C-alpha cells in the first residue's frame, strides 16, 4: 500500500516489527542492522562471484539489480510477518511517482519513532517535494512545488516509457560469470532510484549517509519503502506496459543466498523472482498520471550544418571537466514504419571510468546548443548518468544507454544523418571513453 495512506494502526504494527528486529541479537541474521549489512555486502563488492574468486560481485549497475532487490524485500517482509505473528502484514511503498506521494511519507518523518532516521537532508523534509532528477550541486534548484511535480512526471515518462522500450534498457546490461562488475545500469536504477537515494541522504555527512551511500542505505527504514516502489516499477513494466522480461538462461539461473524468517540460509534464483503470484504478493493498480507526461520538443529543427562541433572520434576519450558537444554519426536512418517498430535506436556512452567511492553525475542532451534552458519536460534532455558512492574508492568502468527513436521523432530529426550530443558534468570526476549509436531489436 502507498506509505502516505497507511492507518495509525498500521504504523504501530510496522514500528513494532522494526523494534523487534532491532532487539534481536546482532548474531541473528534477522536483526535490522544485519539486514542492512546484507545490502552492504552484496552491493559493495563484499562477495566474489561463485567460481571466479578474483571477480567481485555487485548487484548494482547490471541486470541483477531488480531481481536481487526484490528478494531482499521479500525476505525482509517475511521476517516482519514472523516477528509480528501476522501473515497479513505487507511492506508499504513510497509512491514518489505520483503527486500525492512526492514527499517523505509522514510515517517515516516522526523523530519520536524508529522509522525516522536523523541522517537525512534537513532541507528535504516535508513539505519539500522530491526531485526525481536530482543532480546535487550543493544547493537546491528552488523550483516551485507545482513545477517540480510536473518535472517529476516527465522524468517518470522518460525512464518508464522512452528508455524502457527493450529489456536491456530497463533491466540493465548482462553481468555474466567471470565478468567485471558494473556493465551498465538500467533506466530506473539510474533515475529515479539513485536520485532519490541521494536526495534523502544527509550532505553534512562524509558520504551522504545514510541513504546517499550504498554501504549505509539499509540503515534508514525508508530504504525499504523506496525499494518497494522501485520493485513496483517492475510490476508496472510487466503488467501495465506489457513489456517483456529477459529470457536469457544466464539471467534466469543466477542465484543468491538470503536468510529467511527462521534465520536459515536459502538459495533463490532470478527465475523464481519473476512471478509475483508465486511470491504471494502484488501491487494495487493505481492511476499513473505520468503516462500523459511525454517530454515535448518546444523547439525543433536544429540545423547541424550551422553547429561548429567536432566529431565524437575527434574528442573522445576525454576527462569530463566542462560541458562538451560533439557530433555522432547515425549508422542508418530510423524512419520507415516497420524498421522503427522492430528496433530501438540506442545511444550508448561507453568506457565511463569513475571512482566508486564518489557519487558521479553528468547530464546528456541531444540536438541542443543551449542546455541551460533544458529541463526534464523537454525532449532534448535525454537524462543523466548517475552513480551512488560505495564504501571504497575503487576505479570502475561502465556504460549508459539511452533510447532515442521516440526522441528524434519528437524533435523532427528522423532523417538526420547525425546528431549533436552534449555532456554536462554535475558532480564528481569521470572519463568518457567513447560513444556509439546502434539498433537494438524490440521484443
CB 131 within 8 A of CB 149: no
Q: Where are the alpha helices (DSSP H) in 283-337?
A: 312-315
Q: Where are the alpha helices (DSSP H) in 137-247?
A: 145-160, 167-171, 187-188, 195-200, 222-239
Q: In the chain, pLDDT over 70 holds for what percent of residues?
A: 93
Eight-state DSSP code of residue 254 = -
Looking at residue 110, its pLDDT comes to 84
In a domain, 287, yes or no: yes
Residues 274 and 420 in one domain: no
CB 131 within 8 A of CB 152: yes
Residues 253 and 337 in one domain: no
Looking at residue 177, its pLDDT comes to 85
Using the 3D structure, point to which of 292, 312, 345 is the last residue of a domain.
292
Report the candidate in 19, 34, 22, 69 with the shortest Cα–Cα distance to residue 263.
34
pLDDT of 121 higher than 60? yes
In a domain, 195, yes or no: yes
The number of distinct structural domains making up the chain is 2
Looking at residue 338, its pLDDT comes to 45
In a domain, 156, yes or no: yes
Eight-state DSSP code of residue 136 = -
Eight-state DSSP code of residue 14 = H
Looking at residue 340, its pLDDT comes to 65
Give the mean model confidence (pLDDT) for residues 328-347.
Answer: 75
In a domain, 298, yes or no: no
Q: Three cell numbers at 321? A: 571537466
Residues 324 and 265 in one domain: no
Using the 3D structure, point to which of 292, 313, 348 is the last residue of a domain.
292
**356 lies in which domain range?**
304-441
| Cβ-Cβ contacts under 8 Å for 406 (sequence gap 6 or more) | 161, 162, 165
* Average pLDDT score, the chain: 92
CA separation for the pair 302, 420 (Å, rounded):
9
Looking at residue 212, its pLDDT comes to 92
Give the mean model confidence (pLDDT) for residues 360-385.
Answer: 92
Residues 228 and 334 in one domain: no
At 51, the pLDDT band (50, 70, 90 cuts) reads confident
Looking at residue 317, its pLDDT comes to 98
Looking at residue 244, its pLDDT comes to 92
| Cβ-Cβ contacts under 8 Å for 32 (sequence gap 6 or more) | 18, 21, 22, 24
Residues 23 and 148 in one domain: yes
pLDDT of 113 higher than 80? no
In a domain, 299, yes or no: no
Report the candidate in 243, 246, 239 with the shortest Cα–Cα distance to residue 283.
239
| Pairing outcome for strands 318-319 and 381-386 | unpaired
Residues 226 and 324 in one domain: no
Give the mean model confidence (pLDDT) for residues 11-31.
Answer: 96
End-to-end CA distance of the chain: 31
Residues 248 and 338 in one domain: no
Eight-state DSSP code of residue 65 = H
Residues 287 and 323 in one domain: no
Q: Three cell numbers at 228? A: 518497494
Residues 417 and 344 in one domain: yes
In a domain, 152, yes or no: yes
pLDDT of 39 higher than 70? yes
At 339, the pLDDT band (50, 70, 90 cuts) reads low
Residues 87 and 150 in one domain: yes
pLDDT per residue as tens digits for the range 303-326:
665 568 999 999 999 999 999 999
CATH number at residue 308: 2.60.120
In a domain, 103, yes or no: yes
Using the 3D structure, point to which of 271, 292, 313 is the last residue of a domain.
292
pLDDT of 136 higher than 70? no
pLDDT per residue as tens digits for the range 244-296:
999 999 999 999 999 999 999 999 999 999 999 999 999 999 999 999 999 99
Looking at residue 90, its pLDDT comes to 97
CA separation for the pair 207, 388 (Å, rounded):
10
Residues 227 and 286 in one domain: yes
Cell 521516440 identifies what position? 406
Distances (CA, A) of 441 to 38, 263, 343, 344: 36, 43, 4, 6
pLDDT per residue as tens digits for the range 392-434:
668 999 999 999 999 999 999 988 999 999 999 999 999 999 9
pLDDT of 171 higher than 90? yes
Residues 260 and 351 in one domain: no
In a domain, 264, yes or no: yes
Amino acid at each position: 500500500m502507498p506509505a502516505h495512506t497507511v492507518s495509525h494502526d498500521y504504523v504501530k504494527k510496522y514500528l513494532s516489527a522494526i523494534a523487534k528486529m532491532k532487539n534481536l541479537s546482532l548474531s541473528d541474521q534477522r536483526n535490522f542492522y544485519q539486514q542492512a549489512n546484507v545490502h552492504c555486502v552484496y552491493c559493495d563488492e563484499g562477495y566474489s562471484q561463485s567460481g571466479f574468486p578474483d571477480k567481485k560481485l555487485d548487484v548494482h549497475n547490471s541486470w541483477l539489480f531488480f531481481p536481487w532487490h526484490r528478494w531482499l524485500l521479500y525476505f525482509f517482509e517475511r521476517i516482519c510477518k514472523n516477528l509480528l505473528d501476522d501473515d497479513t502484514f505487507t511492506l508499504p511503498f513510497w509512491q514518489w511517482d505520483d503527486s500525492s506521494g512526492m514527499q517523505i511519507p509522514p510515517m517515516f518523518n516522526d523523530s519520536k519513532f524508529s522509522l525516522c532516521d536523523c541522517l537525512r537532508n534537513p532541507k528535504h523534509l516535508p513539505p519539500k517535494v522530491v526531485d526525481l532528477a536530482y543532480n546535487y550541486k550543493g544547493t537546491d534548484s528552488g523550483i516551485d512545488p507545482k513545477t517540480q511535480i510536473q518535472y517529476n512526471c516527465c522524468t517518470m515518462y522518460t525512464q518508464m516509457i522512452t528508455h524502457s522500450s527493450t529489456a536491456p534498457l530497463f533491466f540493465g546490461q548482462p553481468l555474466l560469470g567471470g565478468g567485471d562488475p558494473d556493465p551498465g545500469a538500467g533506466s530506473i536504477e539510474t533515475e529515479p532510484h539513485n536520485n532519490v537515494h541521494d536526495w534523502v541522504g544527509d550532505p553534512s555527512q562524509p558520504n551522504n549517509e545514510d541513504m546517499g551511500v550504498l554501504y549505509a542505505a539499509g540503515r534508514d527504514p525508508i530504504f525499504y519503502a523506496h525499494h518497494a516502489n522501485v520493485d513496483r516499477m517492475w510490476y508496472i513494466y510487466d503488467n501495465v506496459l506489457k513489456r517483456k522480461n529477459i529470457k536469457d538462461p544466464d539471467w534466469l539461473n543466477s542465484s543468491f543466498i538470503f536468510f529467511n524468517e527462521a534465520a536459515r540460509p536459502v538459495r533463490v534464483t532470478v527465475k523464481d523472482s519473476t512471478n509475483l503470484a508465486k511470491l504471494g504478493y502484488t501491487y494495487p493498480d493505481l492511476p499513473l498520471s505520468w503516462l500523459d507526461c511525454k517530454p515535448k520538443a518546444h523547439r525543433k529543427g536544429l540545423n547541424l550544418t550551422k553547429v561548429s562541433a567536432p566529431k565524437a572520434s575527434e574528442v573522445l576519450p576525454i576527462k569530463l571537466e566542462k560541458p562538451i558537444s560533439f557530433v555522432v554519426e547515425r549508422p542508418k536512418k530510423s524512419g520507415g514504419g516497420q524498421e522503427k517498430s522492430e528496433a530501438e535506436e540506442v545511444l550508448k556512452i561507453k568506457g565511463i571510468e569513475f571512482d566508486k567511492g564518489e557519487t558521479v553525475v553528468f547530464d546528456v542532451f541531444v540536438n541542443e546548443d543551449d542546455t541551460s534552458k533544458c529541463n526534464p519536460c523537454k525532449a532534448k534532455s535525454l537524462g543523466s548518468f548517475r552513480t551512488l558512492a560505495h564504501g571504497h574508492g575503487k576505479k570502475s568502468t561502465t556504460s549508459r544507454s539511452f533510447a532515442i527513436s521516440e526522441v528524434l521523432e519528437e524533435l523532427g530529426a528522423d532523417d538526420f544523418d547525425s546528431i549533436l550530443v552534449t555532456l554536462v558534468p554535475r558532480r564528481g570526476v569521470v572519463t568518457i571513453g567513447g560513444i556509439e549509436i546502434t539498433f537494438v531489436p524490440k521484443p
